[in-house]
Amino acid sequence: MDKKLVKAINDQITKELFSGYLYLSMAAYFEDRNLSGCSHWMKFQAKEELEHAMKFFGFLCDRGEKVELGAIDKPASTFKSIKDVFEQTLEHEKTVTASINNLYSMATKLEDNPSVVLLQWYINEQVEEEKNPTEILAKMQYIKEDSSAVILLDKELAKRA
């Protein structure tokens, strides 16, 4: 494999791990507000991000490349509101999508077909990763943070499986 692509995938592993760490921080925010459904949703999201990191990890190992983990930055831990958390989630996922798209472009230019195939899976996954918080934010347009509708949304988010 091209060494620049290996480094970029290693960097992506760190980004995916950071994503999980960020979502755990958001889960803690929700736990502190007794919104266990929202917390469950974020913990589920954190688990998915770890799975994404491990998929890249395994891919590099399978190709005989060295995995080099980078430092994970401390995530934000204070948020303005429930809506703010999901707005930040969406913005974060857009950043991840851009990173995946850059990896795909790099792999395509290098004609690294195994990487291209792997990254196509991530491109499809990112559609869902952006869709989920977008739908939650659309529902939040109809409710106020201090209303009983927040409790209903919390119960709905608790069902994520």
Question: Residue 8 in contact with residue 48, Cβ under 8 Å?
Answer: no
CATH 3.20.20.70 assigned to 3-157: no
In this predicted structure, what is the pLDDT of residue 51? 98
CA 124 vs CA 17, 57, 109, 118, 158: distances in Å: 19, 19, 20, 10, 24
Q: Would you list the domain boundaries of the chain?
A: 3-157
In this predicted structure, what is the pLDDT of residue 143? 85
* Residue 125 CA from chain centroid, whole number: 10
CA 142 vs CA 40, 148, 154: distances in Å: 22, 12, 14
Below-70 pLDDT ranges, the chain: 145-146
In this predicted structure, what is the pLDDT of residue 145? 64
In this predicted structure, what is the pLDDT of residue 146? 64
